[in-house]
């Protein structure tokens, strides 16, 4: 789908550009999305595994799921969509990337100003001490992993029913309110509070553009909804914007 000229113009003249991403941006890197057909693991949905209750009941099962995903993410590389976002950051006067993804691919593509709303798949947290460590081992030995203190380690990730970390959610809402243009990329926009961020931008008078493979519940409130693959649309948008500046 062609990129409307108004979108190119708004991004080019933006004084504060924000990008909100979801699992769809990493789909072209081979990382499964949550709500697509490929989002299932052993017939479990994310909602059945990404909860404190699931971890309490069967930590080994939950860790097996994360170990499987760490394997996929470890083999994946940033795609042209991640790279275009990184270039947009470098050319924007003011920029923030808010990602719901835990795969770390934005950072690997060179993005710097990032808030990882839902955590990071390479980090683990002691359930007793709250200490956080990074562990890049794939596959993990002896599931579930334990802290040196003897307590269980859990993924340093925000599960359903858990509050987001105050620092990251405060930054995200502030950025959503202050930016004049937001690109919403590859998210089904059903998980709160992330799904509210484009509405915050819209209500504050900002221009909101959605780039997604299919329409979502927020499509109607956006200023422009571009249907297609982010790995194709974002590089084209970034190229057109760079020519306009
Ligand atoms: C492409 C593409 C391509 C594909 N190019 N596009 C208010 C109202 C209702 C409910 C709630 C509410 N507030 C809180 C809740 C409860 C809950 C919630 O939102 N539930 C909904 C499901 C209804 N939220 C929470 O529990 C949050 N906590 C919270 O708010 O605390 C306070 C509170 C608690 C309880 C009650 C009330 C208040 C925490 C949410 C944590 C979400 N965590 C997860 C799992 C992390 C685990 C992990 O990664 O291991 O984060 S859920 C999962 O969904 C993951 C994702 O980050 C998140 C969003 O998914 P995303 O990124 O949008 O992916 P998909 O798969 O859904 O969509 C991909 C899209 O890409 C699709 O549209 C494709 O078409 C598209 N696409 N290829 C472009 N190439």
Residue listed under structure tokens 């799904």? 195
- Cα–Cα distance between 194 and 86 in angstroms, integer? 21
Nearest CA to ligand 1 atom 39: 160
Nearest CA to ligand 1 atom 24: 192
Residues 189, 230, single domain; the answer is yes
Residues 21, 131, single domain; the answer is no
Tell me the C-alpha to C-alpha distance, in Å, between residue 126 and each of 31, 53, 143: 26, 16, 14
> What pLDDT, on a 0 to 100 scale, did the predictor assign at position 201?
98
CA atoms within 13 A on the CB side of 188: 10
**Atom nearest to 230 CA in ligand 1:** 5
Residues 140, 220, single domain; the answer is no
For 230, the domain range is 5-30+78-118+164-244
Residue 187 CA, ligand 1 centroid: distance in Å: 8
pLDDT, mean of residues 164-173:
98
DSSP symbols for 69-89: HHHHHHH----HHHHHHHHHH
Query: What are the tens digits of pLDDT across the range 146-157?
Result: 999 999 999 999
Count of structural domains within the chain? 2
Residues 230, 129, single domain; the answer is no
Residues 234, 186, single domain; the answer is yes
Catalytic residue among 106, 118, 146, 156: 118
> What pLDDT, on a 0 to 100 scale, did the predictor assign at position 71?
96
Residues 104, 140, single domain; the answer is no
CATH of residue 114's domain is 3.40.50.1220
> What pLDDT, on a 0 to 100 scale, did the predictor assign at position 225?
98
> What pLDDT, on a 0 to 100 scale, did the predictor assign at position 133?
96
Query: What are the tens digits of pLDDT across the range 38-86?
Result: 777 777 888 899 999 999 999 999 999 999 999 999 999 999 999 999 9
Q: For residue 211, give both structure tokens.
A: 């780039």
Q: Is 21 in the pocket of ligand 1 (CB under 6 A)?
A: no
- Cα–Cα distance between 177 and 13 in angstroms, integer? 18
Residues 49, 100, single domain; the answer is no
Percentage of the chain beyond pLDDT 90 is: 93
Report yes or no: 21 and 101 within 8 Å, Cβ to Cβ: yes
Q: Which of 136, 157, 178 is the last residue of a domain?
A: 157
Does residue 203 have a pLDDT over 90?
yes
Residues 26, 100, single domain; the answer is yes
Q: Is 193 in the pocket of ligand 1 (CB under 6 A)?
A: yes
Residues 224, 141, single domain; the answer is no
Residue 189 CA, ligand 1 centroid: distance in Å: 7
Residue 245 CA, ligand 1 centroid: distance in Å: 35
Does residue 36 have a pLDDT over 90?
no
Residues 82, 152, single domain; the answer is no
| Candidate from 20, 21, 24, 211 with most ligand 1 atoms within 8 A of CB, to mutate | 24
Residues 104, 60, single domain; the answer is no
Residues 109, 174, single domain; the answer is yes
> What pLDDT, on a 0 to 100 scale, did the predictor assign at position 44?
85
Nearest CA to ligand 1 atom 12: 192
**Atom nearest to 187 CA in ligand 1:** 63
pLDDT, mean of residues 187-204:
98
118 as an active site residue: the answer is: yes
Does residue 5 have a pLDDT over 90?
yes
CATH of residue 135's domain is 3.30.1600.10
Ramachandran sector of residue 110 (left: φ over 0; alpha: ψ -120 to 50; beta: rest): left
Query: What are the tens digits of pLDDT across the range 131-145?
Result: 999 999 999 999 999
């Amino acid at each position: 789908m062609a990129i409307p000229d108004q979108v190119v113009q708004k991004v080019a003249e933006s004084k504060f550009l924000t990008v909100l991403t979801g699992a769809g941006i990493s789909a072209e890197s081979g990382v499964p999305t949550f709500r697509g057909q490929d989002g299932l693991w052993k017939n479990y949905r994310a909602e059945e595994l990404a909860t404190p209750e699931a971890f309490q009941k069967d930590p080994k099962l939950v860790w097996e799921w994360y170990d499987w995903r760490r394997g996929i993410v470890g083999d994946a590389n940033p795609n042209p969509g991640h790279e275009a976002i990184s270039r947009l950051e470098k050319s924007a006067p003011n920029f923030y990337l808010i990602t719901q993804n835990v795969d770390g691919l934005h950072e690997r593509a060179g993005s710097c100003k990032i808030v990882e709303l839902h955590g990071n798949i390479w980090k683990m947290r002691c359930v007793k001490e709250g200490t956080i460590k990074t562990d890049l081992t794939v596959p993990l030995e002896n599931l579930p992993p334990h802290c040196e203190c003897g307590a269980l380690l859990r993924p340093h990730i925000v599960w359903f029913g858990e509050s987001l970390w105050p620092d990251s959610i405060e930054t995200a809402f502030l950025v959503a309110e202050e930016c004049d243009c937001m690109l919403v990329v590859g998210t089904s926009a059903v998980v709160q509070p992330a799904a509210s961020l484009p509405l915050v931008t819209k209500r504050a008078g900002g221009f909101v553009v959605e780039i997604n493979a299919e329409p979502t519940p927020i499509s109607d409130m956006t200023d422009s909804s571009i249907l297609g693959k982010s790995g194709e649309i974002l590089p084209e948008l970034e190229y057109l914007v760079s020519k306009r500046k």
